């Protein structure tokens, strides 16, 4: 039954959203704790956490990408969008589908090529931190772009559904 | 082919395609045509993890969101009122000062209008100021303060400019110092205008009361040291910008969540999430534009652009006039962050060719963008204010008009008097 699969899909997406939000909060918390600890240790004990600064910089990338995933889910990416206000409902849905599929295309290309980078790094075996391989750090790139593509794909389905129910009425 | 694709991308952007996808697509296409392996997109994007100063962006953003959620805006207004409220047009000047201060710390994301406007708008009305003046003042003040440390646009300009490997080095600290006098100029001009417009409002002046000041100081006793620690730490060189950001987060968290308890621990993850959505939206644009900038520099497009412009415009003055006009239009179309990462890689090399200091260009750029926040038809703060105060956008166009011309005047002074930005740096 289509209703059944819809339900399962909806529940899956809800769980996924919770994981994304949780990761975002976790990453920022780690970043804050690490940044504060660095300052205290450096100024009072003349001591630095090994790789602390590198790890902070990597966290910026991760926080940024998880933030972008959530922004994509909630349609909060920065955009201009001045023309769609002048369209009627149906034309707006069509524009929505076109825009969504365009983002899916771009994000998929980015996901594919960052995936290639991760594989290359895996083969090369370079390290990003003392004990952390680069490919692991970079794996957030294909993951995030993949998730963004998925979100816009879902949105395009929604838009085209709105289109078909709109034309039936 | 290039032309058709460019138009197509522009059209997609105008119909609401996210800017990261538009910029990303143009970079992908350019590299593809130049037969460069597209993994360059990922390599360039990954450079986000190689910029030490960038740590400041999520930290300051989160601290700003926390401040906006707490009662700090109320205490800030109380304190400013106790200090400046006795002056003629006192409350208007209070609004300007409080908004500028708050925006500098929260990063000009519209939060000023929502957090402070809600307090100041009814107060101004009660004090007898005309409605359109109040609307104009609050809407304009929503972006006032982006020239003061530690505002996010100043930091982002420093980061983007550093990526270009210019001969003239530029640091974020330079930007923080350069913004002081131009920012003060804006406040002084707007205050004078407020005095002049309301000269007929003959309200008996309130007395300066030490008792009031003491009460207000006591109310914000925990928050008062923060600006001194953060700004003092940055300006004295004790903290790097990213360290100052970490200290700010810690301080704001301890004060608002643990001491004042105005934000419950349970509510903190929600604030984190909301603030990081903005950070993600900015960083993904910065990431793809690192790739497009790399292409621009490789293809020597800024140099070609400069050569072309130089053929038509020989004088620095004419260039600056055209720059102002261009930036005004740009500011009305694009938000400040996208405009920064998109245009600075193109504009900065050209401006250097005309002998403009990179720090000065940054201040010109940001001052212009500040106007863009409330330039019709699409200035973001017009819509935020319209929504917040339940007034038609048309009324806000009219209400902000006099303020627009005053700040335009300030922008012109800033543009044609480089020393105003550079004198404190000794450049």
Q: What is the pLDDT of residues B107-135, one digit of tens each?
A: 766 778 888 888 899 888 888 889 999 99
* B418 CA: distance to closest CA in chain A (Å): 32
Whether the predicted interface score ipTM is above 0.85: yes
pTM for the whole thing?
0.90
Supply the pLDDT for residue A56.
Answer: 95
Checking if the pLDDT of B86 tops 90, the result is: no
User: Contact B98/B119 with Cβ under 8 angstroms?
Assistant: no
Comparing alpha-carbon positions, the chain B residue that sits nearest to A91 is B15
- Cβ-Cβ contacts under 8 Å, A138 against chain B: 42, 46
A106 vs B21, B57, B247: nearest CB: B21
Nearest of B290, B235, B237, B207 to residue B31 by alpha carbon:
B290
What does the block give as tokens for B59? Answer: 């930290």
Checking if the pLDDT of A167 tops 60, the result is: no
CB atoms within 10 A of CB A16: 15
Is A1 in the B-facing interface, judged by CB distances under 8 Å?
no
B283 vs A21, A31, A68: nearest CB: A68
Is A66 in the B-facing interface, judged by CB distances under 8 Å?
yes
User: Contact B144/B366 with Cβ under 8 angstroms?
Assistant: no
What does the block give as tokens for B360? Answer: 């000065």
- End-to-end alpha carbon distance in chain A: 24
Nearest of A4, A47, A13 to residue A154 by alpha carbon:
A13
Q: Indicate which of B5, B10, B36, B46 best probes the interface with A, i.e. most A CBs within 10 Å of its own CB.
A: B46
Spatial separation of the C-alpha atoms in residues A144 and A30, rounded to whole Å? 19
Supply the pLDDT for residue A168.
Answer: 52
- Cβ-Cβ contacts under 8 Å, B281 against chain A: 67-68, 71, 76-78
Nearest of B377, B285, B340 to residue A82 by alpha carbon:
B377
Residues B319, B325, B326, CA angle at the centre, nearest 5°? 85
Supply the pLDDT for residue B387.
Answer: 85
* H-only helix segments in B198-300: 210-219, 225-235, 241-252, 268-298
Supply the pLDDT for residue A142.
Answer: 98
Q: pLDDT band at residue B372, thresholds of 50, 70 and 90?
A: confident
């Amino acid at each position: 039954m289509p209703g059944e699969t819809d339900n399962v899909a909806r529940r899956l997406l809800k769980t996924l959203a919770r994981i994304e939000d949780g990761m975002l909060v976790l990453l920022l918390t780690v970043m804050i704790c690490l940044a504060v600890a660095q300052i205290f240790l450096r100024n009072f004990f003349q001591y630095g956490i090994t790789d602390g600064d590198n790890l902070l910089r990597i966290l910026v990338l991760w926080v940024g990408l998880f933030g972008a995933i959530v922004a994509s889910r909630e349609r909060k990416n920065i955009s201009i969008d001045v023309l769609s206000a002048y369209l009627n409902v149906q034309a707006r849905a069509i524009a929505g589908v076109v825009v969504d599929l365009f983002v899916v295309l771009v994000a998929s290309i980015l996901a594919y090529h960052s995936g290639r980078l991760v594989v290359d790094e895996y083969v090369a075996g370079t390290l990003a931190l003392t004990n952390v391989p680069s490919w692991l750090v970079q794996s957030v790139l294909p993951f995030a772009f993949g998730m963004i593509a998925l979100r816009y794909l879902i949105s395009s389905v929604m838009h085209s559904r709105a289109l078909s129910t709109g034309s039936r009425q | 082919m290039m032309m058709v694709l460019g138009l197509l991308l522009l059209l997609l952007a105008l119909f609401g395609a996210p800017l990261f996808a538009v910029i990303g697509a143009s970079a992908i296409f350019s590299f593809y045509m130049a037969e460069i392996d597209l993994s360059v997109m990922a390599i360039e994007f990954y450079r986000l993890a190689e910029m030490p100063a960038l740590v400041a962006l999520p930290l300051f953003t989160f601290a700003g969101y926390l401040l906006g959620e707490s009662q700090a805006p109320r205490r800030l207004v109380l304190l400013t009122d106790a200090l400046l409220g006795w002056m003629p047009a006192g409350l208007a000047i209070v609004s300007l000062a409080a908004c500028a201060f708050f925006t500098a710390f929260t990063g000009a994301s519209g939060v000023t209008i929502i957090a402070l406007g809600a307090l100041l708008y009814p107060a101004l009305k009660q004090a007898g100021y005309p409605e359109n003046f109040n609307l104009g003042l609050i809407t304009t003040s929503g972006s006032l303060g982006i020239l003061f440390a530690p505002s996010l646009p100043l930091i982002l300009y420093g980061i983007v400019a550093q990526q270009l490997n210019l001969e003239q080095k530029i640091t974020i600290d330079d930007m923080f110092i350069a913004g002081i006098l131009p920012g003060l100029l804006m406040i002084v001009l707007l205050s004078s205008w407020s005095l002049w417009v309301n000269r007929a409002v003959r309200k008996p002046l309130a007395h300066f009361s030490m008792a009031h000041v003491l009460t207000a100081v006591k109310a914000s006793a925990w928050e008062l040291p923060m600006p001194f620690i953060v700004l003092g730490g940055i300006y004295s060189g004790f903290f790097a910008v990213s360290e100052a950001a970490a200290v700010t987060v810690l301080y704001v968290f301890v004060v608002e969540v643990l001491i004042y308890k105005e934000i419950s621990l349970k509510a903190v993850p929600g604030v984190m999430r909301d603030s990081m959505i903005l950070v993600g939206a900015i960083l993904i644009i910065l990431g793809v534009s690192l790739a497009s900038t790399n292409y621009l520099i490789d293809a020597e497009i800024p140099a070609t652009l400069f050569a072309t412009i130089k053929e038509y415009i020989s004088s620095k003055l004419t260039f600056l006039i055209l720059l102002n006009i261009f930036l005004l239009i740009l500011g009305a179309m694009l938000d400040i962050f996208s405009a920064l990462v998109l245009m600075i890689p193109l504009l900065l090399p050209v401006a250097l060719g005309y002998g403009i200091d990179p720090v000065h260009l940054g201040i010109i750029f940001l001052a212009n963008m500040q106007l863009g926040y409330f330039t019709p038809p699409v200035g973001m703060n017009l819509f935020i204010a319209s929504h917040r105060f339940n007034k038609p956008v048309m009324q806000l166009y009219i209400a902000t008009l006099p303020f627009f011309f005053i700040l335009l005047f300030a922008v012109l002074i800033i543009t044609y008097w480089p020393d105003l930005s550079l004198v404190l740096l000794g450049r």
